[in-house]
């Protein structure tokens, strides 16, 4: 019955619809569980929800309460300090390590593993370990004091003005190995002939890196920024394990703020409002970045 023609049209039909059919469950699931819940959180932030979700529209009162809350602004300021320093330092350290490792040294594999290893730990482990190391009563300060330098002090962890910087230290330690691995992969992907040509022209190694190699790592920079900025904004476990948001509320970040208000203080609406603010921050950072990247990709 089936003519070769109808078979061909059937397979054309399958070609057209099969990929869509295969992808549709994932699409549906992410629509509901990502965008659906984002929309639901957005709606909750416009209600007076307290202990349990409540659906009556209440306008922008939760945002108003949020902006009047001192603690929110502490959290936002801390996110600014932490995000800026964490992204900047991790990028610099990761790139530096990658450039060093790129010098075709022996035992590169071993070194790479050592630098990459912190990424295998969870932020909870990192936070707890650094909490012990930075504790003035039993960590670094005590060790150096016991070595015969009684005047040495390093008590950032218990200093309300400096506690947020200890989070930066632990975060950079955790993530720079991973960033190094990404950069190293990028470095290895650069065409050797360009470098050879530059060498023939008499360029020194630092100049080659500065003028040729690093600029051609642009796509890697983009992925690294994307990953680091979203680690920074959602950072919760690291701060929780390292300082618990303290001393007092000195190293509070928006993620901890959201958790406490939504789940332990019975202010679900306010928590939802702060979650929406975090989402908007990510969108505000990432949308221009992605726009720039797609445009340059089209041009290139």
Partner 1 sequence: MKRKQLSAALLAATLLPATVFAGEVEVLHWWTSGGEAKSVAELKKMMTAKGDNWKDFAVAGGGGDNAMTALKTRVVSGNPPTAAQIKGPAIQEWGAEGVLANIDAVAKAEGWDKQLPPVVSQVMKYKGQYVAAPVNVHRVNWLWVNPEAFKKAGAKVPASWPEFFDAAEKLKKAGIQPIAHGGQPWQDATLFESVALGVGGPAYYKKAFVQLDQATLAGPTTLKVFETLQKVKGYIDKGAAGRDWNLATAMVINGKAGMQFMGDWAKGEFTAAGKKPGKDFLCVAAPGTAGSFTFNIDSLAMFKQKDAAAQKAQADLAETVMSKNFQEVFNLNKGSIPARLDTPMDKFDDCAKKSKADLTAASKSGGLVPSFAHKMAMPSATEGAMDDVISQFMNSSMSPKTATERLAKAGKVH
Question: Phi/psi of residue 248, each to 5°?
Answer: 65, -120
Nearer to partner 1, 138 or 283 (CB): 138
Nearest distance, CB of residue 163 and partner 1, angstroms: 8
Q: Does 136 bind partner 1 (CB under 8 A)?
A: yes
Span 269-298, contacts to partner 1 by CB under 8 A: none
d(CA 40, CA 248): 32
Contact 292, 269 (CB under 8 A): no
Contact 166, 86 (CB under 8 A): no
Nearest distance, CB of residue 79 and partner 1, angstroms: 18
Contacts of 141 (CB under 8 A, 6+ apart): 152, 153, 154, 155
Stretch that binds partner 1, among 46-54, 109-117, 228-236, 276-284 (CB under 8 A): 46-54
Nearest distance, CB of residue 53 and partner 1, angstroms: 7
Nearest distance, CB of residue 171 and partner 1, angstroms: 18
The number of C-alpha atoms within 13 Å of 138 and in the hemisphere containing its C-beta is 4
Nearest residue to 75 via CA among 281, 254, 262, 280: 254
Q: Does 59 bind partner 1 (CB under 8 A)?
A: no
Which of 261, 276, 277, 293: binder of partner 1 (CB under 8 A)? 261
Q: Does 80 bind partner 1 (CB under 8 A)?
A: no
Total interface residues for partner 1 by CB under 8 A: 35
Which of 19, 88, 215, 248: binder of partner 1 (CB under 8 A)? 248
Nearest distance, CB of residue 165 and partner 1, angstroms: 14
Stretch that binds partner 1, among 13-21, 45-53, 172-180, 202-210 (CB under 8 A): 45-53
Q: Does 96 bind partner 1 (CB under 8 A)?
A: no
Which of 22, 51, 105, 200: binder of partner 1 (CB under 8 A)? 51
Nearer to partner 1, 144 or 250 (CB): 250
Nearer to partner 1, 50 or 230 (CB): 50
Span 141-160, contacts to partner 1 by CB under 8 A: 155, 157-158, 160
| Conformation bin of residue 293: beta by default, left when phi > 0, alpha when psi is -120 to 50 | alpha
Q: Does 49 bind partner 1 (CB under 8 A)?
A: no
Nearer to partner 1, 107 or 264 (CB): 264
Query: Which stretches of the chain bind partner 1, using CB under 8 A?
Result: 32, 36, 39-40, 43, 50-53, 55, 70-71, 131, 135-137, 155, 157-158, 160, 163, 243-244, 246-250, 260-261, 263-267
């Amino acid at each position: 019955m089936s003519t070769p023609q109808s078979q061909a049209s059937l397979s054309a039909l399958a070609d057209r619809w099969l990929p869509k059919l295969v992808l549709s469950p994932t699409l549906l699931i992410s629509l509901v569980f990502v965008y659906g819940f984002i929309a639901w959180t957005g709606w909750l932030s416009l209600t007076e929800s307290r202990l349990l979700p409540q659906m009556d529209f209440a306008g922008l009162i939760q945002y108003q309460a949020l902006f009047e809350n001192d603690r929110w602004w502490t959290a936002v300021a801390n996110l600014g300090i932490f995000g800026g320093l964490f992204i900047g330092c991790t990028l610099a350290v990761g790139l530096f390590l990658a450039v060093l490792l790129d010098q075709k040294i022996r035992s590169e594999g071993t070194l790479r593993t050592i630098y990459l290893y912190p990424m295998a730990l969870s932020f909870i482990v990192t936070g707890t370990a650094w909490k012990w190391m930075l504790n003035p009563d039993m960590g670094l300060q005590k060790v150096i004091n016991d070595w015969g330098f009684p005047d040495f002090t390093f008590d950032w962890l218990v200093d309300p003005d400096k506690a947020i910087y200890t989070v930066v230290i632990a975060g950079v330690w955790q993530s720079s190995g991973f960033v190094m691995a990404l950069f190293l992969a990028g470095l290895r992907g650069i065409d050797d002939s360009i470098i050879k040509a530059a060498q023939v022209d008499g360029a020194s190694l630092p100049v080659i890196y500065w003028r040729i190699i690093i600029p051609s790592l642009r796509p890697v920079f983009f992925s690294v920024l994307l990953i680091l900025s979203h680690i920074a904004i959602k950072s919760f476990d690291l701060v929780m394990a390292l300082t618990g948001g303290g001393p007092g509320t000195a190293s509070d970040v928006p993620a901890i703020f959201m958790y406490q208000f939504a789940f332990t203080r019975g202010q679900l609406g306010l928590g939802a409002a702060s979650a929406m603010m975090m989402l908007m921050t990510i969108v505000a950072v990432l949308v221009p970045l992605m726009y720039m990247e797609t445009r340059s990709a089209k041009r290139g």
